[in-house]
Amino acid sequence: MNTVNARMCRRTRLKLIAATILVCALPAISPPAMAQTKPKVALVMKSLANEFFLNMETGAKDNQKANASKYDLIVNGIKDETDTSNQIKIVEQMIIAKVNGMVIAPADSKALVPVIKKAIDAGIIVVNIDNKLDDGALKEKGIVVPFVGPDNRMGAKLVGDYLGKQIKRGDKVGIIEGVSSTFNAQQRTAGFQDAMKAVGANVVSVQSGQWELDPGNKVAAAMLNAHPDIKALLAGNDNMALGAVAAVRAAGKTGKVLVVGYDNINAIKPMLKDGRVLGTVDQFGSQQAVFGIETVLKAIADKKSQSSLSGVVETKVQLVTKDTK
């Protein structure tokens, strides 16, 4: 090897050594740190025509804005309380979208279970809020879904007990139930019946108002027509209570037939003040959604599997009357 070539080889070796030193001196950057993404959580609700679920949506979005660096949120709802098929489609869309977690208020306690199993099989952490999924249906599919929500029976009994102080033994009352196949509708009806039994009132009719104002109005009108001496109507939510108030007014019985509801939506508050509605129950829907999201995020952060999640996180309920501060 001549002198020129030897010098060139020496320079090349020095450059390689310098380059190696430079690379070693650079800070380590792991691929996950560069590509890491926030968890994507879907909130799947029932009817967005219901003010209760609009409040739930607002609470969830406000929480995400306050925690924008921690997670992304996708919010969906259906057109009415019985639109179960579209809610199933929404869950299927969220599976395709590869969300990491899902918080769902199911329109039906049983019908949503098969598609929820699909979501879990796809690796999505699922938490149930508002309306509890049917335990038997979950067991049949071999899945566990934690429930974050109120004791609906206790909440209904709270407002039922308050009504019970205004009526006497033997008085006739009617119960306007939500969608009869849903667990929360069944539990609220049971709570109303507990309260009426305690005061010796006579429950002459239990009919579904589908959680909606217009069906609730029709059911209330039918009860008033069939039982002209009825003293009170207990509605499973405030939407149906609004319909009951309209039916009572149309029958010329304002002040003679008492009405109670459940949810404490804004539309009911003027009626509490003027006595058209005797009482309702606040179940703090916006907080339910947030608690559900927090449960999902914790499970994801702790790398927990769906099967390791269980139990009930009970959220609060509160009686609301014209005297509530």
Domain that holds residue 94: 37-148+285-314
Model pLDDT, residue 60: 98
294 within some domain: yes
241 within some domain: yes
310 within some domain: yes
- Say whether both 117 and 165 belong to one domain: no
- Say whether both 275 and 163 belong to one domain: yes
Q: Which residues have a Cβ under 8 Å from the Cβ of 313 and sit 6 or more positions away? A: 146, 147, 148, 149, 291, 295
- Say whether both 272 and 301 belong to one domain: no
218 within some domain: yes
Q: What is the pLDDT of residues 69-128, one digit of tens each?
A: 999 999 999 999 999 999 999 999 999 999 999 999 999 999 999 999 999 999 999 999
Domains: count for the chain? 2
Global pTM reads 0.85
Mean pLDDT of all residues belonging to the chain: 91
Domain of residue 191, CATH code: 3.40.50.2300
322 within some domain: no
User: pLDDT grade, residue 209 (50/70/90)?
Assistant: very high
Please check the confidence at residue 29 and state whether its pLDDT lies above 70: no
Segment 272-286 mean pLDDT? 97
Please check the confidence at residue 1 and state whether its pLDDT lies above 90: no
Model pLDDT, residue 36: 58
User: pLDDT grade, residue 30 (50/70/90)?
Assistant: very low
What are the φ/ψ torsions at residue 309 (nearest 5 degrees)? -90, 140
16 within some domain: no
Segment 155-179 mean pLDDT? 98
175 within some domain: yes
Kindly list the distances between the CA atom of residue 300 and the CA atoms of 217, 238, 273, 305, 309, in Å, as whole numbers in the listed order.
44, 35, 45, 8, 11
Q: What is the pLDDT of residues 212-267, one digit of tens each?
A: 999 999 999 999 999 999 999 999 999 999 999 999 999 999 999 999 999 999 99
Model pLDDT, residue 6: 44
Q: Which of 148, 79, 145, 153 is nearest to 112 (CA)?
A: 145
Q: What is the pLDDT of residues 292-307, one digit of tens each?
A: 999 999 999 999 999 9
Look at the block and give the residue holding tokens 């929480």: 63
- Say whether both 157 and 222 belong to one domain: yes
201 vs 224: CA distance, rounded Å: 16
Q: What sections of the chain are H helices per DSSP?
A: 3-25, 31-35, 51-66, 84-96, 113-121, 135-141, 152-164, 183-199, 213-226, 238-250, 269-274, 285-301
Task: Identify whether the C-beta of residue 184 lies closer than 8 Å to the C-beta of residue 152.
Answer: yes
The neighbouring-strand residues paired with 148 are: 129, 313
User: pLDDT grade, residue 280 (50/70/90)?
Assistant: very high
Q: Which residues have a Cβ under 8 Å from the Cβ of 172 and sit 6 or more positions away? A: 201, 202, 204, 227, 229, 230, 231
The sign of the dihedral angle between the CA atoms of 39, 40, 43, 48 is positive
Query: pLDDT > 90: what percent of the chain?
Result: 85
What are the φ/ψ torsions at residue 285 (nearest 5 degrees)? -60, -40
251 within some domain: yes
